[in-house]
Structure 1
């Protein structure tokens, strides 16, 4: 009898654990569409404290490093051999160097753009030249709000959080490369600074807001900014302001997004108490370009995702930065072909 009861208790415990692991968060009904397993370590011990961005270009992984030992911002690795290839973009104040406050974006398959905050430079590195051993770049001064995020958008620039003083509720702006405003997008419901991602063909913008519970997709056709879809996953009347976020451990989407042709990939964190807290998102969420969730993915052998990831949709692979028990940052590649996405 005791043996029978033991078996029942173990069975129920297993079912409970499985169900809990397959839930994103209480009250949020996202489907669990699979697990990434049998990861292949592509690169071991990246010499940096943190990887701010990662891009996959053909058989290369480009890692935007923070506090790299040689002060190079972008480290390039061969994803077939795992070998270090080159690095480019030094920190500093001279020509071709990047101010210590910066952001990088993959403008297209052959250009990486870095925007500096204090020197207000729009710097473009051309990968074909860099792979050939020539550190070729162009640099354009910008006249812009230094507190905004900026993306390259066709032959113009798209600015997020344009009206940072919240005087006119101007949320986005499209500018020419010199920073002259072409058009502004006004949104009276906008409450919180939000990360954005732009489709590789520059046709759409994806973002989330309201405590990172609500996704929005905007059309960017013909230099216009038009809301195409908005999806709220909790409560359409719930809007979380900064004070609420500071005081309570609300869950939400982590602030780093990887946008690809078919899908948008981001992390889920059970606590957003600290501003910008993307520490160890526990699950990977996948959205389509309508802003609808395809589901979430868990990672075998890892309690948490390290927050940076990059998808190679052509080969159905996911590259994830994993910090091991020794504190080393490794690039681990997972197969995604079994997920119901293709």
Structure 2
């Protein structure tokens, strides 16, 4: 299934500069984890008519699923207790609290009890107030127009404990920090997966697979085109790359007539990471490692678990394919979107696990 990219509207912007090159990476498979557990999923909700659930986040009482394909609203809230659908929010439009092209990422600002999203089309950050309990509805809190200052172009916004980080896709911005309505550049470089710098940036930004640890001291970035995983450290507003592991090189075509260069998928493309979730303890990854032509290439029947040195620590083997997912490590629950093989419709599933099963 082809993923909808939130940044396509702006890829005609010209690139004026090039970053420094880094050495090409050595590719080798991830070792098969010695710690593996099998789990049987249970249906959480199979009545809501999803089009394409692309992201999900948890609050104390809610599971919030992003599905903005052919939907009037982008976000849909479900009770974590019962699985019942409660309400949708994030209406499509250009009014206050409305969005046109929500980013691939939606994050929770736990310090201020806000759900945060980025609309690249309108260049605005939108914040929704989270409910105090399940019976309440989420409502529009505030929004900020953030113009592309200093030539920076934002593809997504990442919230963490009251601080906001910008993710860019055109040099020099890869990661920056939001200071009111301006951006402070923190980091520009990308691991070199292919010789062409513009194509290399496009590979890393084709579907934003970037997550920050709850403590805010580490970032993981992963590729959807090919298979590569990068760990970065965050210290006093300074970001540095710490560890890179590459499994499959990116195989792609260059989209005709687009500047900066943008990659497209071909039959030979190996789909890498489909979704990633993190705790301060582990990185949880839905990893395909399948060619685009293979059935199930945009899902898998397992969740790989990595430590923060990018080493496989374990694997959760499931009884069905899942796509986007989220993890509550504290209560040992995984929620996921899966396609029912008989009906062809999306449904929400969940299962319980013990994170201590994957520790030394």
After TM superposition, is the score higher than 0.5? yes
1:280 aligns with 2:307: no
Structure 2: state its 5+ residue gaps.
1-27, 194-199, 255-263
Q: C-alpha distance in 1, partners of 2:355/2:310?
A: 22
Change (3 A) 1:213 1:326: closer
**What's the TM-score once normalised by structure 2's chain length?**
0.73
Could you tell me which residue of structure 1 aligns to residue 115 of structure 2? Answer: 112
CA distance in 1, matches of 2:123, 2:306: 33
Q: After superposition, give the CA deviation of every residue in 1:270-290 in whole Å (9 maximum; x if it has no partner).
A: 33548xx96223432222222
User: Which of 231, 241, 247 is the aligned partner of 1:227?
Assistant: 241
CA offsets 1:217-269 (integer angstroms, 9 cap, x no match):
111121111122223446xxxx5464498556354522422223322222122
Output the CA distance in 1 between the equivalents of 2:96 and 2:121: 14
Query: 176-185 or 87-96: which moved more?
Result: 176-185
2:204 to 190, 193, 209: 193
Of 127-136 and 34-43, the range deviating more from structure 2 = 127-136
Name the stretch that deviates more: 213-222 or 282-291.
282-291
For residue 331 of structure 1, report the CA deviation from its aligned partner. Answer: 1.6
Pick which of 126-135 and 311-320 moved more. Answer: 126-135
Q: Is the 8 Å Cα contact of residues 253 and 265 (structure 2) preserved in structure 1?
A: yes
Separation in structure 1 between the aligned mates of residue 322 and residue 245 of structure 2, nearest angstrom: 26
Q: CA deviation at 1:73?
A: 1.9
Asked if the contact 2:329/2:355 (under 8 Å) is kept, the reply is no
Q: Distance in 2 between matches of 1:57 and 1:326?
A: 30
Aligned length: 303
Q: 2: distance between equivalents of 1:181 and 1:57?
A: 29
In structure 2, the partner of 1:329 is 346
User: Structure 1 209/281 Cα, relative in aligned 2: closer, same or farther at 3 Å?
Assistant: same
Cα distance change of structure 1 residues 153 and 60 upon mapping to structure 2, 3 Å threshold: closer
1:40-59 matches, within 5 Å, as: 40-59=42-61
**Distance change >3 Å, CA 211–CA 85, structure 1 → 2:** closer
Asked if 1:256 corresponds to 2:272, the answer is no
- Deviation at 1:42? 1.7
Q: Structure 1 residues 246 and 68, CA, compared in 2 at 3 Å: closer, same or farther?
A: closer
In structure 2, the residue corresponding to 1:50 is in which secondary structure?
Answer: coil
Residue of 13, 20, 32 corresponding to 1:30: 32
Equivalence for 1:22 = none
Q: Secondary structure at the match of 1:311?
A: strand
Aligned to 1:174: 177
Q: CA RMSD in A?
A: 3.1
| Counterpart Cα distance in 2 of 1:33 and 1:182 | 40
| Cα pair distance change 1:261/1:128, threshold 3 Å | farther
SS in 1 for 2:131: helix
Q: How far off is 1:151 after superposition?
A: 1.7
After superposition, what is the alpha-carbon deviation per residue over 1:92-130, rounded to whole angstroms, capped at 9, x for unaligned? 111111114434422334321110011111011111368
2:109/2:160 contact within 8 Å kept: no
SS at match of 2:48: coil
Match of 2:324 in 1: 308
Task: List structure 1 runs of 4+ shifted beyond 6 angstroms.
Answer: none
Shift of 1:39: 2.0
TM-score, normalising length: structure 1: 0.76
1:142 counterpart = 2:146: yes
Q: Secondary structure in 1 aligned to 2:81?
A: coil
Query: CA contact under 8 A between 1:129 and 1:135: conserved in structure 2?
Result: no
Specify the SS of the correspondent of 1:340.
helix
